[in-house]
Amino acid sequence: MSLTPSEIRDNPQQPGVQAQVYIPDQLIADARNLVTQPILLGAGVLKRGTVLGQQNVNPVQTVAGASNTGNGTVGTVVVGSSVETGGYVLLATSATVFKVTDPEGTVLGNATVGTAFSHAEIGFTVTAGGTAFVAGDNFTINVFDAVGTYIQCVRTASDGSQTPVAILVDDADASAGPVTAGAYLAGEFNASELIFSTTWVLAALVSAMRPYGLFAKSSISSASPSNNSAP
């Protein structure tokens, strides 16, 4: 987080005064039992209080070469059982063929535009755009370690992130690839301040979080119960 410093000179010509107000967001219900830990946030632009799940598959990020002539894309990336972490380089040798090299520099074969490339390490499909590729065009598929990678918890997911095991401490932007962030791994939180996927209903989420030491509490009104009011 970047901070803008306030300038204070030795001999100010005019007196001045500043006021700052701390307004808590009420996410924390009880600060005594918080457990935090740095994590790798895998994707998304997420706000403080977002409920997270931990992936057990390797997240990937595809980056097109800055000077590419062709405007096609790489999609349908599948991580294989022998995948390595690092950058897989796709280098065009013609308008329709890309040489595929793994992070250690080993050539895995050639990928044909429009045809799925499949290997024990990685699979993908290069799709042509309106402008044809030329020799030298390239893509890099970055494969990140799955350990410690978190994304927003979605109940219908199947990559491990369907289990709510953490809550994001601060706003974080992982839209361009994984970033380091902080997460609460245990504690007591106000349910009304949690941010969660619409695949969840609050009652089910509260129950699913509890085994992992995350307790969500609902606020109780201080108003007198209606049955105690005078007739």
Longest alpha-carbon distance in the chain: 86
Unique residue bearing structure tokens 């307004």: 23
pLDDT of 140-164, one tens digit each? 999 987 666 899 999 999 888 999 9
Instruction: Give me the pLDDT at residue 231, please.
Output: 47
User: CA-CA-CA-CA torsion for 173, 177, 180, 182, nearest 10 degrees?
Assistant: 50
**Where exactly are the structural domains of the chain?**
28-57+146-217, 60-143
Q: How confident is the model at residue 225 (pLDDT cuts 50, 70, 90)?
A: low
Instruction: Give me the pLDDT at residue 21, please.
Output: 72
pLDDT of 108-139, one tens digit each? 999 999 999 999 999 999 999 999 999 999 99
Q: How confident is the model at residue 32 (pLDDT cuts 50, 70, 90)?
A: confident
Q: For the chain, give the mean pLDDT.
A: 88
Q: Please provide residue 123's backbone torsions phi and psi, each rounded to the nearest 5 degrees.
A: -135, 155
When pLDDT is averaged across residues 103-109 and rounded to a whole number, the result is 96
Measured CA to CA, the distance from residue 76 to residue 124 in angstroms comes to: 5
Measured CA to CA, the distance from residue 155 to residue 161 in angstroms comes to: 8
When pLDDT is averaged across residues 199-208 and rounded to a whole number, the result is 96
Q: Please provide residue 150's backbone torsions phi and psi, each rounded to the nearest 5 degrees.
A: -120, 150
Residue 22 clears pLDDT 80, i.e. is over it? no
- Could you tell me what percent of the chain has a pLDDT over 70? 85
pLDDT of 62-95, one tens digit each? 999 999 999 999 998 998 888 999 999 999 999 9
Measured CA to CA, the distance from residue 189 to residue 37 in angstroms comes to: 16
Task: Indicate the CATH number for domain 28-57+146-217.
Answer: 2.40.300.10
42-51, 83-92, 144-153, 207-216: least confident range:
144-153
